[in-house]
Each structure stands twice: as C-alpha cells, then as structure tokens.
C-alpha cells in the first residue's frame, strides 16, 4: 500500500477508535451512575474492541514510519 494511503488509514482508524471509546465509556458511566460500587470503565469488556482498533492504527502507523 502506498505510504500516504497507509498514513491516512492509520489516522482514520485512530480517530474512530478514540471517539468510539469515548462514547462507549460515557454509556458505561451513565449505566453505573448511582451504584454504590461503580465499575472501572477502563477495564469494561465493551472497551476492548476500541482498544484493538487503536492498537491496529498504531501498528500501521509504526509500519509506515519504518519504511520512510
């Protein structure tokens, strides 16, 4: 894949992952509001798909940087 395309794909995946994770964390926080022991929103299993997307974006970014 050409370098500018790989760079754009990695940035788009990173932004989608960060924004999606933010919305998911907000939903988790709103669902656990008022409970005596709220869950840790960072370790909720619904966040791992966003963490994986962010990880893929960072790997693509690193691969792109290695070949420039």
Each domain of the chain, given as residue ranges in start order, spans 3-66
Q: Is 39 helix (H, G, I), strand (E, B) or coil?
A: coil
Total number of residues shown for the chain: 68
**pLDDT value of position 44:** 86
**pLDDT value of position 1:** 62
CA distance linking residue 3 with residue 54, whole number of Å? 19
**pLDDT value of position 43:** 87
For the chain, 68 residues long, give each residue's pLDDT as a single digit of tens. 678 888 999 999 999 999 999 999 999 888 888 888 777 888 889 999 999 999 999 999 999 888 76
**The three-state (H, E, C) secondary structure of the chain, written as one string:** CCHHHHHHHHHHHHHHHHHHHHHHHHHHHHHCCCCCCCCCHHHCHHHHHHHHHHHHHHHHHHHHHHCC
């Amino acid at each position: 894949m050409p370098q500018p395309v790989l760079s754009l794909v990695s940035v788009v995946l990173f932004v989608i992952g960060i924004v999606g994770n933010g919305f998911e964390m907000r939903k988790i926080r709103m669902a656990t509001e008022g409970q005596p022991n709220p869950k840790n929103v960072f370790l909720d299993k619904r966040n791992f798909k966003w963490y994986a997307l962010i990880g893929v974006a960072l790997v693509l970014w690193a691969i792109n940087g290695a070949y420039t």
